[in-house]
Every structure is written in C-alpha cells, then in structure tokens.
Structure 1
C-alpha cells in the first residue's frame, strides 16, 4: 500500500515538473535545501576544549598548605611516561605540604590503579567541598561547576593546558588573597609542547605558557629539553633540570635479571595516535627492512604502547601489538628483546629507547636538534638520514649482527653496561632537589616535611 502511494506521488511530481514555474520552484527548494545542509554540516566549533576555564570559588574551610597537581588523567590506561613522571615528582614534593590534591582536567570519571599511592584517595566532583584529606577532583566535565580554592593552595602544572588554567587560578587567588601576590606556579615541562601542533591557536597558547618566567618555577625534564628551550629564547630565572631515571620497578626487575637472555625479538614503541612518535615512519621502515633482509621472517616483531590490529609488513612479516603492558610483563619482554626501534620527534629523550637499552637491547633512534642519544650508550644507534632507507639500514645492521652471533657490544648482564648519565642510578638522589623546590614554592619557608 505504501509502495503504491509512493509510486503515484512520484508520477504526479514528474508530470508537474514539466511546467516551467513548478520546475523553477522545485529547483530553488533544492538549492536552498543543499545550502542549509552545507551550513549545518560545515558549521565549525571554534572552541578550544583543553582550555575550558576551571573557575574558582572561595573554599568554605581554610586549610593548611596544599599542593595541587593539575594533570590531564590518572586512569591506568592513560598513564604513560609523561604522566607517570608527573605523579612521581608530585609524590616527592607532597611531604613538604600539609595536604595534597590531584585535579584531573581531562577525565570526568578517573579510574586510578588501586596499588598507586593515590589509588585509595577519595574522588570528588569539582562542585563539592574538599574533604580534610588527600583527594582527587574530577574536573573533566566541569561546565557550570567551580573549584574550591583557599589561601594556602599551591599549584603544579604539567601539560600546557593545565598551565594555562593554573595561571588563571593564580590570578584569581592573588586578587582574593593579597599575601599570595608573589606566589609562583610550579611547571613541570616535559617537552616543547607547541611542537605538538601545526602553527595554530594551540601552538600560540602552548608557547604563551613559557612566557611568564617571573611567575614560574620551571622543572625541565632532561638537559636536552632545557638546552632546546634556551635556544628558543626561553629563560627561567628559577629552574631545576631533571634527569630521566629508570622506573623503580623496572630497575628492581633489571637487578634481578642475572643475564640478558636475548631472543630474535624486534620491539618497537608504537603509538599510532601520537604524531611525534612517528608511527607511520616506523611501519614504512619495517616494511623496507623486511623486504631487504632475508632473515626478517625469523624475527618476532612486536610493538608496546598503544593497542592496534596486526599490520602486514610484507615478506612474511607482521607487526603485532602487545598494547600497554604491566611493569612485570614489560620487564620480561625487555630482558628478551635483542633489537629495539623507537622514534621521538622532539627534544625530549623518550623513556622507551632508554629502557630497552638499559636491558641490553641495541636500539635504533633518531636525532632531533641538539638531542643525540648515541652519546648515552653504544647500545643506542642514531640512524641517518631519518627516513625509511636510513632506519631500515640501521635495523638490518643490528639484526644481522645478532643473527651472526656478533654480540660483543651487547652486555651479558647489567654489571657490564656502559652508560653516560644518571638514568640507571635509580637508587641515587633522584629527587634531591625536592626540598629546595618546595621551599621556593612556599615562599622560601623552611623545607621541613609536613608529615613524618
């Protein structure tokens, strides 16, 4: 019945369309409809979601000194090297304050791992008053809500958009509390973050967070990054340069490993969703290596980092993702990996290639500006030129050397490692600067831990 009605309607419209006035009217309606559809589908959203303001309100209860870590996420699936380092730095600093609070800027329902030091902290909505204990504020869905801030709140920023909002919170706090007029932001800078974007609004906003040096205590993660920032013209009068260090759990696993029992495993650090890790270039290089190295199919080619479907590399080779591993599983894989491949298109050294080399693998990496990891250890090989031909040639050299038993440059165990710098000194004073930084943040008050 409905089909018959549709057919009849179509025939009537076809006959009416023979008349010029009707045809013109239908054509105008069609043009108007297409224009309306184009406007509705192409209407852009000009908001920059990351910098949605975190609006403050005076806290009902005024407490003691409180250190606030502003970090994009704390859920286990999001805690990679950068966020992990931020949480470690925060943990080193919080004993010098009466309370600690983590403000999660990008997650509405954070799910921290239960065995983390913050794993049992209560998670409260931004609109709620602060409980009288260390806690986490979920600020990822903050529209129409405000954050309780009191006179003794001190802020530590991580990603550039957290610094953007932290400066705004400091501005408000200064207006409310005259004695906070000289208060500075502790800014953990772990990369040159304008480089995450094309020249754009976000590029400028990220740059702007480096341009308030008098209001900043800068913690820069690695001398490579500190030197790069200086070369770009950024000078921070109050700063501390951190040196990357092997994760304590990995260091413990490495210490337990009597020998590095290497297998034909080629491990890459694969993050398809992060452009600076150059995943497409990694895949192109692996395909060229597989095509030109006859023994390539004898190797297991694995990727740690983000999960993705298997990728056919040709010549009987496949790149398989193991995703984000537990520390224990990752350490086991590192012990068995013979060759690594990890790229980072930025002045930050990146932890995975250092971790692979720390467990005795020979690792192909890239240079960037003033950064050249080959000076850290002979196990780290900077390929040139940084294209598929250069990287595949380096991979061919390392895999062929392993297949031919040429392992003289590969340490049999941790004690034979040749290494420049403090990355392996996990038992050393990695956070010896904490007391000094806490004193500066507190306004040169005595840096005495607030808790025993």
Structure 2
C-alpha cells in the first residue's frame, strides 16, 4: 500500500506540474513557458555565480596594497607607453566608446597605447580584437590579454571598478596608475558585496579622473578624495542634422538588463504614450526586446552613423539614466530631437538645455512629457541642434592627455 501511495503522489505531482505548464502556456505563450524553465534551471544550477564579474584572486584589498612607482621619470623626449585595462568591448558600447576616444587622443599626441583586456569568462582574444578594429577603427593600440601580464608601460589606466581591481592585483610592476571614472559605479548595485567592492576601488590610491561634476561630487562626499575633473562631450561631427525629412518617430535606447537605464519605467511610459498616440512610430535600438505591449520597430545595435539617421526621423527621444547623465540625450539633441529625461538634480546641473523635457521618474509623468513634446513640436530642429556645444570631446581628451603626461613626466 505504501508503494501505491508513493506512485499516486508522484503521479499527482506530475499532473499538477503539467497543469501549471498548460496554464502558463495559455497565458504567456511558448516564450513565457521557456523563460520560466530557464529561470528554474538558473536557480537549480547556481548560475548566479556567473554574475560575479571578477575571479576571487583578482579582488584587491585597499588596506594591504603596496604598489610601486618608477624611481625616476622618463625624459619628455621619449613618448609614453600607456596601458588601459578594460573588459572586452561589445559592439557599440557607449562606455567603451568614451574610453577609446581618450586612447585615440593619447595616440594622436604621439604616445603608444596598449589595451589590456580582462575577460572573466576566458573569451577569444582574436575575436575581441576584431570587434575593436571594426567598431573603433581609429584606435591603433596593441591589444593584449591581462593573462599575459600588465607590463612594459609607464602608466596604466583603469576604466571601471572591475578593471581597477585587476590593475591593483596584476599591475605590480613599477608604473603610474590612474583611473578614468565615468560613473559612481557603486550605485550600479544594491548595498551589498558588489557595492562594497566597487567603492573600495576609489581607495586604491590611483590618480582619479572624474567625467563630469556628479562623479566628482560623489568622490568628494562619499569617499573623501579630490579627483581631477573633466567634462562630457558630444560628437557633433556624427550626431547632426541631415537633409530635412518628416519626423514622426519616438525613440528609446533600450537596455533591459541595465537597471540604471530605467527600462521598465520607459516601457510602461511608452505603453501609455502609444494608447494616446497610436499614430506615432516607436523605435527601439540597443537590445532587441520580446513581447512588447505596443508596436515598435526594433533596430538592435546601430553604428553611430545609422543611429544619427534614425534620430533624424524622430521628433522625441526618451533618455533614461539613474546615475551619471547618459550620452544619449545630447546625441539626440544634436540631431534635432527633443529629449525627455527622468528628472535628477545632478543631471539637470550637467545638462543645462532648454530642449530637454524633465519628468518625474514614473510611467504617468514620463508618458505625459512624451505626449506634450510630440504634440507640440518646435518645428525648429536647427535651434535644437545648435543648443549642443560644438566643442565635442576635445576638452576631455586634452585634459586626459595633459594629466597622463603630468603623471608620467612630472609637473
């Protein structure tokens, strides 16, 4: 009888699971059912460990660092050898694009650069270099893996909190060490392990270069260090007005897996906007997203030239960022697009532009701002484009080169 009861119980569980699967299939379709299966497998296999972006051996202790610098400074007659530690760039990555602009400027100043790639998952270096050569053809730097050592440089620049740990643990030769900080990266995470490990990097003693006033303010108030500060730019040679054409679109940079980009709020806002303006074309670029509750054209990853073409067909853009200001709103403005952005005091202080529509970060307010901008276009795209500084990235590039030379050669 016991065996019969066990078989009966097992059969009941199978029937129950089959019933739940059928219900999910009816309500969410095959994709929804597959997602639930993947989620269950993710949990049962302990795959969360793959979200740890560093190997344990690459985590530095700021209280125990004893990093050496060269005993003598080289002559200014000799070009610098500068290393840059970074994760392998994905095609079109904005943060990597900004970093590689600094690499190009350093090379134009007559110095030699090496990119040291850190891949936690052991990807193929040749393929990673091919992405760099295709998407950033102006970069001439040698590409190496950190597995071969961080060596042979006068100075090395960390480009993220992960790469700062790697520079501290693997860059043990005598060299000058700097840190190009595009965002206050602890804010990428809830309070916990990753938050603390990111915050620790600002205590390594590297010379810090903050991109923008928000990062500089937080480094002072949260960490107690005084960084060098440079400013954002916008590549107005790429993002610009094209020949006049009808503007019927609304555009979003979609990054569902990056919480600071506010995708969930943006999607709900666009759903509300679509109900009020079903005639408006909605465009997604960045990531391709399944099961949208409204029609949208999904462009995936675009080159800067292709993105500028898309912007020139759009009337309004939704630009979300909950940490440092994104590059996206100024690129939209430079192409004549009114930018709707989530309201943040630091963002307002950096992006002082009358053509930005600031909205409280909730679906209703964002949708209302989108609707107002769409219904009452200025009709003067030239004025919108002209509101963006034409300086581009030249100030930031000049600052970074000057700081590198000062650090290596001396003041």
Structure-2 residue corresponding to 1:136? 143
Structure-2 residue corresponding to 1:89? 102
2:131 is the alignment partner of 1:112: yes
**Separation in structure 1 between the aligned mates of residue 58 and residue 109 of structure 2, nearest angstrom:** 26
Structure 1 residues 425 and 45, CA gap change in structure 2 (3 angstroms): closer
Between Structure 1 and Structure 2, how many residues are aligned? 351
**Separation in structure 2 between the aligned mates of residue 387 and residue 219 of structure 1, nearest angstrom:** 33
RMSD over equivalenced CA pairs, Å: 3.4
Select which of 226, 230, 245 maps to 2:220.
230
Alignment of 1:17-416 (within 5 A): 45=49, 48-53=52-57, 65-75=80-90, 77=91, 79-94=92-107, 99-106=112-119, 108-109=123-124, 110=128, 111-115=130-134, 134-139=141-146, 142=147, 146-147=148-149, 149-150=151-152, 152-170=153-171, 172-173=172-173, 180=174, 183-212=175-204, 215-236=205-226, 239-247=227-235, 249-251=237-239, 254=240, 257=242, 259=244, 261-291=245-275, 293=276, 296-309=277-290, 311-313=292-294, 318-346=295-323, 348-372=324-348, 376-384=352-360, 386-402=361-377, 407=378, 410-413=379-382
Q: 1:67 is paired with a residue of what secondary structure?
A: strand
Shift of 1:97: 6.8
2:405 is the alignment partner of 1:439: yes
Shift of 1:374: 8.7
Shift of 1:378: 1.4
Q: 2:347 is paired with a residue of what secondary structure?
A: coil
**Separation in structure 2 between the aligned mates of residue 320 and residue 379 of structure 1, nearest angstrom:** 25
TM-score normalised by the chain length of structure 2: 0.75
**Separation in structure 2 between the aligned mates of residue 44 and residue 397 of structure 1, nearest angstrom:** 42
- Structure whose CA Rg is larger: 1
The answer on whether the counterparts of 2:288 and 2:298 sit within 8 Å (CA) in structure 1 is: yes
Shift of 1:302: 0.6
**Separation in structure 2 between the aligned mates of residue 416 and residue 190 of structure 1, nearest angstrom:** 25
Higher relative contact order (CA 8 A, sep 6+): 2
Shift of 1:82: 0.7
Q: 1:439 is paired with a residue of what secondary structure?
A: helix
TM-score normalised by the chain length of structure 1: 0.69
**Separation in structure 2 between the aligned mates of residue 363 and residue 415 of structure 1, nearest angstrom:** 10
**Separation in structure 2 between the aligned mates of residue 267 and residue 193 of structure 1, nearest angstrom:** 26
The answer on whether the counterparts of 1:184 and 1:441 sit within 8 Å (CA) in structure 2 is: yes
Unaligned stretches of 5+ in structure 1?
1-10, 18-38, 56-62, 122-133, 174-179, 446-452
The answer on whether the counterparts of 2:337 and 2:384 sit within 8 Å (CA) in structure 1 is: no
**Separation in structure 1 between the aligned mates of residue 46 and residue 285 of structure 2, nearest angstrom:** 38
**Separation in structure 2 between the aligned mates of residue 366 and residue 431 of structure 1, nearest angstrom:** 28
**Separation in structure 2 between the aligned mates of residue 374 and residue 443 of structure 1, nearest angstrom:** 32
| Deviation per residue, 1:386-430 (Å, 9 max, x gap) | 21111111112112213xxxx2xx5332687335xx4x3238545
Structure with the higher helix share, 1 or 2: 2
Q: 1:199 is paired with a residue of what secondary structure?
A: coil
**Separation in structure 1 between the aligned mates of residue 357 and residue 189 of structure 2, nearest angstrom:** 28
